Amino acid sequence: MTSKGHFITFEGIDGSGKSTQARMLADRLREEGHDVVLTREPGGSPGAEEIRALVLQGDPDRWSAETELLLFTAARRDHMERLIQPAIDAGQIVICDRFADSTRMYQGLSRGDLRSKVDVLHDLMIAREPDLTILIDMDPAQGLARAKGRQGVEERFEDFGADLQKKMRAGFLALATEFSDRFRTIDGARAINNVATDVHATTMAHLASSD
């Protein structure tokens, strides 16, 4: 039913509800007859999933910010080449849980100011922004409590703690202003279904305006 491809990303701090909302949006759009690809970063293609294990497991100081930037960008390039771009070209709606805005924040901001290096590498190797970015915004303490509740092995970034999450929240809100044409901010500190209703309405408005 979908004729034109779309690229939609979810961004926000850890535990804000991105994965939950991305999945709910994908389910609802499929019920409505759209052809949807749900994916995530880091990962989303077999090669990028291997890089995911390298960057998310182990000690918080396992990699420098610069090395991490190269690894995330390598994963993204593979994901873009093998999954995202072919799906967009085939007219599908690609929904991706995190994308380059996460690199702008986590590698660009968390340990010194690497934002200009992030942008140069992005322009050189990825050169594509999403059509719509949904920022799920919420209080970092609440997000961290939710994320910690998962108790998995992928804890490198969660171990950075509450101060980093505060900085990330402010950084994401600043990005939403910088890229106001494609960003839409939604309050994530509400019941799951209420957030999902807003996410769906925002997506429908985007699809209607770009068809």
| Residues at the interface with ligand ADP (CB under 6 A) | 12, 14-20, 146-147, 149-150, 191-192, 195
Residue 172 within binding range of ligand TYD, rule CB under 6 A: no
Minimum Å distance from CB 33 to ligand TYD? 28
Q: How far is the C-alpha of 65 from the C-alpha of 44, rounded, in Å?
A: 22
Q: Is 29:129 a contact under the CB 8 Å cutoff? A: no
Among 87, 147, 176, 199, indicate the residue that binds ligand TYD (CB under 6 A): 147
Cα–Cα distance for residue pair 61/18, rounded to 1 Å:
25
Instruction: Determine the Cα–Cα distance for residues 201 and 92; give it in Å rounded to an integer.
Output: 19
Residue 59: φ, ψ to 5°: -65, 150
Q: Give the 3-state secondary structure of residue 184.
A: strand
Binding map of ligand TYD across residues 181-200, x = CB under 6 A, - = no contact: --------------------
CA separation for the pair 22, 186 (Å, rounded): 13
Stretch that binds ligand TYD, among 59-67, 80-88, 96-104, 192-200 (CB under 6 A): 96-104
By CB under 6 A, tell whether 72 contacts ligand TYD: yes
How far, in Å, are 1, 115, 123, 171 from residue 119 at the CA level? Answer: 35, 6, 6, 15
Asked if 103 is part of the footprint of ligand TYD (rule: CB under 6 A), the reply reads: yes
Q: Which does 149 bind (CB under 5 to 8 A by kind): ligand ADP, ligand TYD, none?
A: ligand ADP
Residues at the site binding ligand TYD, with contacts judged by CB under 6 A: 14-15, 18-19, 41-42, 56, 72, 97-98, 102-103, 106-107, 147, 157
